[in-house]
């Protein structure tokens, strides 16, 4: 065999081996995802949350908080003269205060309830396409300060998904007044390997900043896999999530969410928390690998309960179990 041909063949094999190795390493980033079996989806369809309407968040009173010039946050609330604590709700990406309507209906008059919407979400002003994670951290700090000025009772933070990550970053900056944190399907550090740290931040922005899906397209597009309850998933797309006020820049995750620097800051923030922290995770979470949430909860000694749900815990079929667990966690303090 020609030595040149042999050398080229060996080089091709080495290159192929390296590609397979890198691909396997990258695939490990999301290792452990579990899809709900068809029978679980069928069971959810029989008892769809969408068939049990509640008072929408827009029916509750609200107040405004200026977070930055041109950014007026709207905080919806329900206050009670017999309240002994405040519950402060933080939504996640592509969401708004509207996501907490069921939990507002669940909790009794022993709590004052407050739910903000990040800038440019729901009825808050500002441009979400210009915002990054730290803008949302500032929104939370501004609105939480206003909540505590209205009611100096102990304040318990209840946050979902990317909102849980930004709530942790906010509590790291200003822990005063936060009595506990309840994190629902929280975004946690990715714990990159060296290959992942080098590759993911370079390719993810290109993937996530491609043309966004058509807002008038199929309702299952933006939340594919995030719900077991497909009817509820389609309902919130029509009612809320397909609206311009629920869409932030893809760069929120394409830059902040995958950068090693942001990951390190998030890890430091989680490890610094001194107040009681509780995790509620979803067995069928397709956004954050549950094993990673379990690992972090163990490392910071935070109790964790896993529910039969998709990523959207506040609105999927297990929302009431989530609410009951939050109540039990609060009563344990």
All domains in the chain, ordered by first residue: 55-331 (3.40.50.1820)
Structure tokens given for 324: 């009951």
Is residue 213 within 8 A of residue 222, CB to CB? The reply is yes
**Helix crossing, 162-173 with 133-150: angle to 10°?**
70
Closest CA to 281 of 269, 294, 267: 294
Is residue 273 within 8 A of residue 182, CB to CB? The reply is no
Closest CA to 75 of 173, 158, 181, 146: 146
Is residue 306 within 8 A of residue 281, CB to CB? The reply is yes
Each residue's pLDDT expressed in tens, for the chain with a length of 333 residues = 566 565 555 444 444 444 444 444 445 567 778 999 999 999 999 889 998 889 999 999 999 999 999 999 999 999 999 999 999 999 998 899 999 999 999 999 999 999 999 999 999 998 777 788 899 999 999 999 999 999 999 999 999 999 999 999 999 999 988 999 999 999 998 876 676 667 766 776 666 566 555 544 444 456 778 899 989 988 888 888 777 777 777 667 767 777 888 889 999 999 999 999 999 999 999 989 999 999 999 999 999 999 999 999 999 999 999 999 999 999 999
CB atoms under 10 Å from CB of 203, counted, come to 12
Q: Is 34 left (phi over 0), alpha (psi -120 to 50) or beta?
A: beta
Give the predicted TM-score (pTM) of the model: 0.89
Kindly provide the residue ranges of all beta strands, DSSP E only, lying in 195-294, ordered along the sequence: 277-282
Phi then psi dihedrals of residue 13, to 5 deg: -65, -40
Q: Which residues contact 157 (CB under 8 A, 6 or more apart)?
A: 88, 90, 144, 167, 171, 178, 180, 181, 182
Longest distance between any two alpha carbons in the chain, whole Å:
89
């Amino acid at each position: 065999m020609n030595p040149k041909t042999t050398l080229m063949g060996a080089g091709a094999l080495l290159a192929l081996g390296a590609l397979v190795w890198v691909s396997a390493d990258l695939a490990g980033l999301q290792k452990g995802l579990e899809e709900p079996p068809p029978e679980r989806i069928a069971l959810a369809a029989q008892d769809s949350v969408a068939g049990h309407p509640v008072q929408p968040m827009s029916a509750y009173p609200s107040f405004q908080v200026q977070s930055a010039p041109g950014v007026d946050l709207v905080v919806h609330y329900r206050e009670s003269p017999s309240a002994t604590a405040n519950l402060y709700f933080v939504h996640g990406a592509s969401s708004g205060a509207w996501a907490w309507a069921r939990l507002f209906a669940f909790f009794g008059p022993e709590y004052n309830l407050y739910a903000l919407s990040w800038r440019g979400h729901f009825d808050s002003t500002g441009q979400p396409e210009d915002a990054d994670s730290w803008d949302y951290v500032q929104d939370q700090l501004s609105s939480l300060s206003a909540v505590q000025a209205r009611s100096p009772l102990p304040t318990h933070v209840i946050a979902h998904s990317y909102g849980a990550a930004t709530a942790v970053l906010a509590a790291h900056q200003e822990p005063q007044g936060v009595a506990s944190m309840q994190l629902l399907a929280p975004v946690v550090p990715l714990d990159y390997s060296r290959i992942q740290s080098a590759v993911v931040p370079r390719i993810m922005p290109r993937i996530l900043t491609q043309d966004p899906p058509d807002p008038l397209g199929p309702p299952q597009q933006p939340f594919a896999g995030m719900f077991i309850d497909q009817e509820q998933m389609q309902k919130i797309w029509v009612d809320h999530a397909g609206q311009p006020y629920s869409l932030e820049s893809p760069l929120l995750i394409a830059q902040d969410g995958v950068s090693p620097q942001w990951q390190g800051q998030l890890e430091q923030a989680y490890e610094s928390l001194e107040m009681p922290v509780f995790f509620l995770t979803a067995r069928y979470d397709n956004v954050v690998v549950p094993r990673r949430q379990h690992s972090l909860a163990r490392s910071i000694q935070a109790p964790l309960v896993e529910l039969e749900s998709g990523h959207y815990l506040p609105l999927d079929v297990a929302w009431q179990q989530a609410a009951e667990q939050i109540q039990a966690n609060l009563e344990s303090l």
